[in-house]
Amino acid sequence: MTAKIIALLNQKGGVGKTTTAINLSDTLAKQGFRVLGIDLDPQGNFSKVVSGGEVRFEKNVLQLFQKDNNVDISQLITLSPHSDDFFYIPTDIRLSRVIESGLTLSFRELRLSKHLNSVKADFDFIILDCPPNLSLTTTNAIVAADLFLMPVNSGVFALDGLEDLLDALQEVSQGQELHYYVFRNEVAAVNKKINNAIDEDLLEIASQRVLRTTIRRSEDIGQASFMYLPLSQYKNGSVAINDYRALVKEITSLL
């Protein structure tokens, strides 16, 4: 086998990249897929949840971006306490300084991709949680990934910046065919009018690239992360779990 690499991407913060990365990874692992989740955001929120509440990590993705560090990526992988098939490489705030010093590295955009080549055979899916900007770790994720998933939330400014993001993606990928999909996160059932307006605009910007699956707004989803748990572990009967299952189903049908 060789892993499919999926990046959660959007230069806007707070749209659901990390939450989706956590629950998508967890859902895949619970279905028996071997999953490696990698935290590329110095905020480290993905790491905190998948580790069950740790905040500082010695085995750290930052080692992949350090000058003169020849670490073997397999040495950085840890098993999540939440699932037998869910592994991760965490990070913390110290990554931000490493990114800045790494801007002078040669072939800097290729680092992650090269490292992943040596572990791709060990996993079915590699999930990359990106920071809310287009910094060095995001460009590394763009080079490495086979599929891009872009959550948009349901606020008034939901789609601002989406066109820029698609442009940036095009630029970094240098003309290669791109497999990107936009999906709606935090969809509230109450306001049909707003939902329809966002759907229409989204179709205009991303046409064929909008997933059928949407993730509902659910108190359980937020609460779970707050308790450093994936949703399935926090509340096994939560209806929102179905949304992540639907997401898995749709994504696997696309690959």
Ligand X SMILES: Nc1ncnc2c1ncn2[C@@H]1O[C@H](COP(=O)(O)OP(=O)(O)O)[C@@H](O)[C@H]1O
Contacts with ligand X, residue ranges (CB under 6 A): 13-19, 45, 132, 185-186, 215, 217-218, 221-222, 225
CA atoms within 13 A on the CB side of 188: 9
Choose among 219, 217, 241: nearest CA to 230: 241
Which residue lies nearer to ligand X by CB, 16 or 90? 16
Instruction: Tell me how crowded residue 122 is: count the other CB atoms within 10 A of its CB.
Output: 15
State in angstroms the smallest separation of the CB of 35 from ligand X.
Answer: 17
State in angstroms the smallest separation of the CB of 163 from Mg ion.
Answer: 21
Single residue of 6, 7, 11, 18 touching Mg ion by CB under 5 A: 18
Which residue lies nearer to ligand X by CB, 79 or 226? 226
Residue 17 engages Mg ion in binding (rule: CB under 5 A): yes
Choose among 77, 142, 80: nearest CA to 109: 142
Query: For the chain, first and last CA: distance in Å?
Result: 14
Which residue lies nearer to ligand X by CB, 77 or 227? 227
- What tokens appear for 23 in the block? 């629950």
Which residue lies nearer to ligand X by CB, 14 or 52? 14
Choose among 55, 66, 65: nearest CA to 91: 55
State in angstroms the smallest separation of the CB of 247 from ligand X.
Answer: 11
State in angstroms the smallest separation of the CB of 86 from ligand X.
Answer: 17
Q: List, in sequence order, every residue forming a beta bridge with 107; answer none if it has no partner.
A: none
Query: Among all residues, whose Cβ is closest to Mg ion?
Result: 18
Which residue lies nearer to ligand X by CB, 52 or 222? 222
- What tokens appear for 82 in the block? 């939440």
State in angstroms the smallest separation of the CB of 150 from Mg ion.
Answer: 13
Instruction: Give CA–CA dist 46/113, Å, rounded.
Output: 20
Q: By CB under 5 A, name the binding residues for Mg ion.
A: 17-18
